Structure 1
Amino acid sequence: MRIGFGVPVSGTWATPQIMARVATRAEELGYDEVWTFQRLLHPAATDIGSAYRSVQDPIVSLAYVAALTSRIRLGVAVLNLPFFSPALLGKQLATLQAVSGGRLDAGLGIGWMEEEFIASKVPLERRGKRADEYIELLRRFWTDDVIEHHGEFYDVVPSRQDPKPETPPPLLLGGGAPAALRRAGRLADGWISSSRMLDDDLPSMIATIKEAAEAAGRDPSVLRFVCRGVTTPGDDTSRLLSGPYEKIREDVEELAGRGMTEIFHDLNFNPAFGAPDADPAASLALAEEAMERLAPAAR
């Protein structure tokens, strides 16, 4: 089980100084990965949760911590494809893969919030079919000398996009609907669960992904299954990854038993961190304690 930690990208503690401290400390403590996430907008008329109220850009944040670290892998869970053209995202991720020394894990999603689609001037409908074509085209930007594509959703006249990544980053897909799970099996290097899926039937979802991979002629045994852990240290033991540190470590092992191959503890989704009036210094102090107590070496 690979263990990661969420970079502070949400709320009052998402400052450059605290991002740097968490990323470098995670590397010192032996964590395998650090992760960010994306949120373009927070609707003014709807409360979709404090974690989404104020969010830094995930690609820029990873580029920043890439310069401060040397070993730890850098993940984003997830970038929503409809908000980028394939050419733009291909260029950005290829550059991030280069400046990080090949440490990028690119999590991709299809989006769900209507306000973000309106602001991006893209349709909400048929975003799953659009993603199928998008992923194929994205990989071609990283491998083909000359790219020409004329599909249902995207067109590229004969073009070059260089420099190409020495090693293309792994593509991991999010989403919990059956079609999304099958897409991950057919097209991706793995799957990322959302923050709301801890109580879902993860073994069944993983089985669906593996079956789709096998049907597509792919080896399901090499797929990665990444869990975003909404980790809440404290006295509440009513759900997974909440309670005393010893229980949280036991919960990690339980998730491994359900088929997850990786987990990252994401305090951005802990209400104590995401609240608009949270004290950044207090958040960092709690995060440092959690990082030390939940580090891979602590097992």
Structure 2
Amino acid sequence: MEFAVSYSTPCFGVDPDRVVAYARHAEQCGFGAFYVPEHIAVHPGATVGTHEIPPALPYADPLDCLAFVAAATSRIVLGTAVLLLPYHHPVVLAKRLATVDVLSKGRMRSLTVGLGTLPGEARAVGVDFGTRGRRADEAIDVLRSLWEGGEEGVSFAGEFFAFEDLCSFPKPHGVTHLPIHVGGSSRAAARRAGRRGDGYFPGGTLTPDERALQWDLARSSAAEAGRDPDALEHTRWGSIDMTEDGVEAFAAQGVTRVVVSATSADPGEQRDQLSAFARRFGLDGT
């Protein structure tokens, strides 16, 4: 089981010293990856489910934030949870992700993508909210095609993206393409993870029965697509105070990575919470 941490810029802020201190302490504790969220734009009255998003929350750009963290750390893997894939042009995104991976010497390896839930956010970037699933599927194909392509160039003709003989360099550091995990709380997301993803990162509000069904659906969708279901990684949100029994229960459900976050906005208490978790599970840095 791998353990990772999330840094919520909306909750903890974007003070550069605090971001770096959190990431460095997580790395020193032995956590394997550092995740940040994304919202490109919100608006008054924007809601996720029954939760209203305060419009002034500081959602930092995730890739810029991760590049900053990469420069201040040496080992911790960089992740998003989630990057809103339909709202990024994949030709531009392929270059940005590969650049962060190269500059971090191969640490942009916990990319998790999702669709987004705010119609106003989609409209703001010129995306038809109803097409974002198909757009995301196509974007994944474009990313991999560009990363894998050589000096002869690659071509693509889809519903949303099209190009001919295109080259994208630099390539990801030492690999053919970067892993792409799919996040979400729907059966469509589970199917997308199986058909196209390298892993599934379901949301935290699912019932146990629905959660089990979606993981089975991800695996069966992988098999139907001719892919190895055992190669899929399974990431889950966990709590900073979770017990060994909780982790064992996750493992029994096929979970391979748990992502936790400090619950306090106070830097000292954050360090104490991460340290206590690391000691409890004997992470390498403790």
TM range (shorter): 0.7 to 0.9
Partner in structure 1 of residue 253 of structure 2: 258
Q: Check conservation: 1:3, 1:264, Cα contact below 8 A.
A: yes
Inter-partner Cα distance in structure 2 for 1:37 and 1:208: 25
Q: Check conservation: 2:146, 2:166, Cα contact below 8 A.
A: no
Q: Secondary structure at the match of 1:11?
A: helix
Unaligned runs of 5+ in 2: none
Q: Displacement, 1:52?
A: 8.3
Picking from 112, 129, 133, the partner of 2:138 is 133
Q: Check conservation: 1:190, 1:224, Cα contact below 8 A.
A: yes
Picking from 165, 170, 186, the partner of 1:177 is 186
Partner in structure 1 of residue 223 of structure 2: 214
TM-score by length of 1: 0.84
Higher mean displacement: 47-56 or 104-113: 47-56
What is the number of equivalent residue pairs in this alignment? 273
Q: Check conservation: 2:244, 2:281, Cα contact below 8 A.
A: no
Q: Displacement, 1:297?
A: 6.3
Q: Displacement, 1:85?
A: 0.7
Q: Check conservation: 1:189, 1:224, Cα contact below 8 A.
A: yes
Q: Check conservation: 1:82, 1:127, Cα contact below 8 A.
A: yes
Q: Secondary structure at the match of 2:35?
A: strand
CA distance 1:289–1:198, shift in 2 (3 Å):
farther
Deviation per CA, 1:250-291, whole angstroms, max 9, x where unpaired? 323322222211111124xx5x54xxxxxxxxx212211110
Deviation per CA, 1:152-211, whole angstroms, max 9, x where unpaired? 111113221112123222100112222221111011100112243475632221111111
Q: Check conservation: 1:11, 1:53, Cα contact below 8 A.
A: yes
Matched, 1:290 2:273: yes
CA distance 1:192–1:98, shift in 2 (3 Å):
same
Partner in structure 1 of residue 90 of structure 2: 86
User: Mapping of 1:191-270 within 5 angstroms?
Assistant: 191-197=200-206, 201-229=210-238, 231=239, 245=241, 247-267=242-262, 270=263
Inter-partner Cα distance in structure 2 for 1:42 and 1:266: 23
Higher mean displacement: 249-258 or 105-114: 249-258
Matched, 1:62 2:57: no
Q: Check conservation: 1:30, 1:296, Cα contact below 8 A.
A: no
Q: Check conservation: 1:87, 1:138, Cα contact below 8 A.
A: yes
Picking from 129, 150, 158, the partner of 1:151 is 158
Higher mean displacement: 38-47 or 147-156: 38-47
Q: Which amino acid aligns with 1:126?
A: T
Q: Check conservation: 1:29, 1:297, Cα contact below 8 A.
A: no
Partner in structure 2 of residue 96 of structure 1: 100
CA distance 1:182–1:3, shift in 2 (3 Å):
same
Partner in structure 1 of residue 167 of structure 2: 160
Ranked by relative contact order (alpha carbons within 8 Å, sequence separation 6 or more), the top structure is 1
Q: Secondary structure at the match of 1:158?
A: strand
TM-score by length of 2: 0.88
Unaligned runs of 5+ in 1: 234-244, 274-282
Identity %: 30
Q: Check conservation: 2:154, 2:165, Cα contact below 8 A.
A: yes
Matched, 1:28 2:28: yes
Inter-partner Cα distance in structure 2 for 1:72 and 1:264: 13
